[in-house]
Structures are given as structure tokens and as C-alpha cells.
């Protein structure tokens, strides 16, 4: 479930609500003090809470390539924290591994199918 907080720009907060609560950690009235503290502390805490762009749809390695380009520019020129960039690098690596693995399985299936067809015909 998504957080129920309506932000200053009239958009609803896009973070997930905490389990069994209506708000995300940041907007939970019970956490206001903690939240203020972590905002003041800045650095690491904020790095873990931010939004750095719109959602992205990754269907092909080409999409991943474009996304990584955005991330790199974000870290390099737009102040996106380096740990965020590192996580995205790691996750896209996982994505590519998974893509590659499923692509290989798909090709093997196709080859098997062809072998079956030529065997019976
Ligand atoms: Zn929220």
C-alpha cells in the first residue's frame, strides 16, 4: 500500500506505507521527530530516502543502457549520492544476468522445438 500523504505539489507521496500504517516512514506522524533528525543529519540517511527520477520500464538491455546513462549523469552532475549510483549499478548487473539467463533458456527451447519437428518429420 502507498503512503497517504499529499505533498506540497498536490501529488500523493509515492513511497510505500509502513506495514499496517497509512504513511511511509517519512510521513508517519509518530516518526516526525525521528524524521526531522534524519533530515538534519543529511548525508547517508537522506541518501537512502530520496527519489531520483520517474519510474523506469526495463524491457531490453537497451533500456538498461539508457537508464545507466541517466544514473551516471545523475551521480556525476546532479548530486545523486554515490551509494545510490552504486546500488543501481549492482541492480542493473543483476537485471542483465537474469535477462541473459532467460534469453538462453528461450533459445534452447526454440532449438529443442526445431529438433523435435525435424525428428518427427
Ligand atoms: Zn510518504
What confidence category does residue 89 fall into, taking pLDDT thresholds of 50, 70 and 90? Answer: very high
Tell whether the model's pLDDT for residue 6 goes beyond 80.
yes
How much is the pTM?
0.52
Interval between CA 7 and ligand 1 midpoint (Å): 8
Residues whose beta carbons lie less than 5 angstroms from ion ligand 1: 3, 5, 13, 15, 24, 27
Interval between CA 29 and ligand 1 midpoint (Å): 10
Long-range CB contacts (within 8 A, 24+) of 3-9: 3/27
Segments making up each domain of the chain, as ranges: 1-51, 53-120
pLDDT of residue 33: 64
40 versus 67: the higher-pLDDT residue is 67
pLDDT of residue 40: 58
Which of 39, 48, 92 lies closest to 67 in space, CA to CA? 92
What confidence category does residue 95 fall into, taking pLDDT thresholds of 50, 70 and 90? Answer: very high
Interval between CA 18 and ligand 1 midpoint (Å): 9
Amino acid at each position: 500500500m502507498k503512503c497517504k500523504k499529499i505533498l506540497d505539489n498536490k501529488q500523493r507521496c509515492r513511497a510505500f506505507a509502513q506495514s499496517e500504517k497509512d504513511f511511509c516512514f517519512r510521513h508517519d506522524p509518530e516518526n516526525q521527530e525521528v524524521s526531522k533528525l534524519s533530515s538534519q543529519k543529511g548525508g547517508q540517511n537522506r541518501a537512502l530516502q530520496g527519489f531520483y527520477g520517474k519510474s523506469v520500464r526495463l524491457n531490453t538491455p537497451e533500456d538498461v543502457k539508457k537508464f545507466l546513462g541517466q544514473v551516471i549523469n545523475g551521480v556525476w552532475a546532479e548530486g545523486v549520492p554515490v551509494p545510490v549510483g552504486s546500488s543501481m549499478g549492482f541492480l542493473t548487473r543483476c537485471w542483465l544476468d537474469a535477462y541473459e539467463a532467460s534469453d538462453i533458456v528461450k533459445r534452447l527451447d526454440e532449438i529443442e522445438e526445431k529438433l523435435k519437428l525435424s525428428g518427427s518429420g
